[in-house]
Amino acid sequence: MILFPAIDLKDGQCVRLKLGDMQQATVYNPDPAAQARAFEDQGFEWLHVVDLNGAFAGETVNGAAVDAILKATKNPVQLGGGIRTLDHIENWLTRGLARVILGTVAVRDPALVVEACRRFPGHIAVGIDAKGGKVAVEGWAQASELGVIELAKKFEGAGVAAIVYTDIDRDGILTGINWASTLELANAVSIPVIASGGLASLDDIRRMVEPDACKLEGAISGRALYDGRIDPKEALSLIKAARTKETAK
């Protein structure tokens, strides 16, 4: 079980959006590399990074900021946003990413995802962003007709390392993770699921370590960490205790 602190990049800065709206961005740190170091110092073991501009543009926009993050932290980093080709994927993995997250291309070209998993085993995650139960693409700007589980099942057996599932209707507004739909997805597929969107307090962390959520790989936290609503030490202690309990079984 992993708690992934999030660094969302807009115009080279670390921001958080409200409901995925680029016009509702709050700048939390103008230096993403410094933020990455801070998260490592707090004891986090992974880092979740999104190139927001890239998600809309369909190509990497905040590459310099991502490179700076990779130099600043020893923690493994997963990146999503604008990664649409096998060359993009190979380039980023060569530059030091542990995992790339494929979102829009997973809807537009599922065969590319399968091929990426074959070429780069263990390094490919799929991002499924849902609005009203349907998958959204192009930086959440467009809705598709695909259901969440319908899309996820296309990648069963392909070697996808994880599915990052985001409920857009809860993202950035601190209303709590949509546990019902997240666990429904986790129980429908064998691929590990990472919960995202709306993590609000330690209550979400406590819910994450309940026995019925043990199948999850973890959850992503953004605004709650930046606003001080979650104490990193306490959150990580809860997760460590759950890991110890699970290992002892």
- Does the annotation count 8 as an active-site position? yes
CB 82 within 8 A of CB 47: no
3 state SS of 70: helix
The identity of residue 246, as a single letter, is E
The number of C-alpha atoms within 13 Å of 83 and in the hemisphere containing its C-beta is 31
Of 185, 183, 191, which Cα lies nearest the Cα of 162?
191
Q: What is the DSSP string of 114-133?
A: HHHHHHSTT-EEEEEEEETT
Given 51, 129, 167, 171, the catalytic residue: 129
Tell me, yes or no, if 67 is annotated catalytic: no
- Report how far residue 74's alpha carbon sits from residue 216's, in angstroms, rounded to the nearest whole number: 24
Place of tokens 């460590």: 240
Nearest to 126 by CA among 97, 90, 155: 155
Catalytic residue of the set 8, 51, 167, 204: 8
**Residues taking part in catalysis:** 8, 129
